[in-house]
Structure 1
Amino acid sequence: MTTPQPAPDRPLRADARRNRERILDVADAVFGEAGQAASTEEIARRAGVGIGTVFRHFPTKEALLEAVFVRRLTGLRDRAAQQLDARDPGQAFSDFFTLVVRDAPAKLAIAGALADSGANLRTAVHDAHQELRAAFGRLLERAQAAGAVRRDVELAEVYALLIGTSRAAAAADVDDRVLTGTLRIVFDGLRATRS
């Protein structure tokens, strides 16, 4: 039997909204550290709420994982959107690329935990992923228009490079010096050549 959720069209009370945000903050950290092995009891304890409060907001561990992962993706999307007004589009692009790569270990631990729970990642977080990709595409377009990134690359290629670099950085567990050098090589390859 699942615990009933609040009606989607009825806003949460302020205290319930604070509890939900605190649960998501803690769950993000706990799942980022322990992946699928993280327990909802540990999340409730660290958030300072009862386990019933966790399940009132998220009826299953999978639902909590999905909410955490979507929140991470939408947070990245919002960060990309904030960079669209930056004075230096090339720097905005490389700063965001770097942010995503540095964030990868925790994000991939959460994604792995969600996949391990049996969720189909392509459907569970499809909209949030597409919005992030579109925001990244706008950063790329601005950087290309400013002459900072070569024009002969397309979003699909650069996004694949972003994902590949993120996965490699997370899997190899590289130190900061190696990661910085890796990103320098990536950016050298993407830099527009001056004629």
Structure 2
Amino acid sequence: MTANRPLRADAVRNRRLLLAAAADEFAERGMDASVADIARRAGVGKGTVFRHFATKDDLIAAIVLDRIDELNAVGEKLLGATDPGTALLEFLTAAAQQRQQRDLSFLHAAGEPSAEVTRVRERMYATVHQLVDRARDHGAVRADVTGDDIILLMCAPNYVASYVPDASPDLWRRYLAIIFDGLRPQGAHPLPHPPPATL
């Protein structure tokens, strides 16, 4: 049993390398990125890719699950924070940092999510709603802001910064600060449109 532990550790390491390499390869080449290129980038053989992920769709789903699980862990931990306003800002910061570290825009062309991705994403959405409810109940954000508003704003800082050629890697922080100031109740004006239907 002890002899198997290094193999399990290697498998975990290879899976992590593959997910990072695949995300980078898809970001650069889109959905046409080949398994051979992903394997080469990760420093493993094609067989290793298929041992972890039977199809390219499985690999894409794993990238999505990995990112959502990471945000879920952050959000669920922040639900216990004593300052709900700071907790919500920390969650939005973590979401923006994740997107800044790796371009995930290729996922928009990935097709319908799997049942597992849908389940985990809905869990994250529920966490976001709880974070917003807590912040709103404590007067840290305006009363007319909803969880769905925040879900839609999660990508906004990086999206805006992506339009600036040769932008500083930290430019997204400027726009996150503007967004969060807009969420505060101080000086808020009524919003001109109702929130979207539940996502």
Pairwise same-fold verdict (TM > 0.5): yes
Give the structure 1 partner of residue 147 of structure 2.
155
2:195 maps to 1:192: no
| 8 Å contact from structure 1 (residues 100, 166) kept in 2 | no
Return the offset for 1:122: 7.4
Give the structure 2 partner of residue 97 of structure 1.
92
| 8 Å contact from structure 1 (residues 35, 112) kept in 2 | no
Q: Which one of the candidate residues 83, 86, 107 is aligned to 1:88? A: 83
Give the structure 2 partner of residue 172 of structure 1.
163
Structure 2 unaligned blocks of 5 or more: 1-6, 188-199
Q: Which one of the candidate residues 50, 58, 62 is aligned to 2:57? A: 62
Return the offset for 1:178: 5.1
Question: Aligned pair in 2 of structure 1 residues 167, 112: CA closer, same or farther (>3 Å)?
Answer: farther
Richer in helix (by share) = 1
Q: Measure the CA separation in 2 of the matches of 1:108 and 1:23.
A: 15
Q: CA RMSD in A?
A: 2.8
- Percent of aligned pairs with the same residue? 36
> 1:137-156 counterparts in 2 under 5 A?
137-156=129-148
Give the residue type in structure 1 aligned to 2:135. Answer: A
Number of aligned pairs?
177
DSSP 3-state at the match of 1:87: coil
Q: Measure the CA separation in 1 of the matches of 2:16 and 2:74.
A: 19
Q: Which one of the candidate residues 115, 127, 145 is aligned to 1:135? A: 127
Return the offset for 1:141: 1.8
Q: Which one of the candidate residues 74, 77, 97 is aligned to 2:72? A: 77
Select the structure with the greater relative contact order (CA < 8 A; seq sep ≥ 6). 1
The one-character-per-residue Cα deviations of 1:29-51 (angstroms, maximum 9, x if unpaired) are 33344432433222212323210
Return the offset for 1:180: 3.1
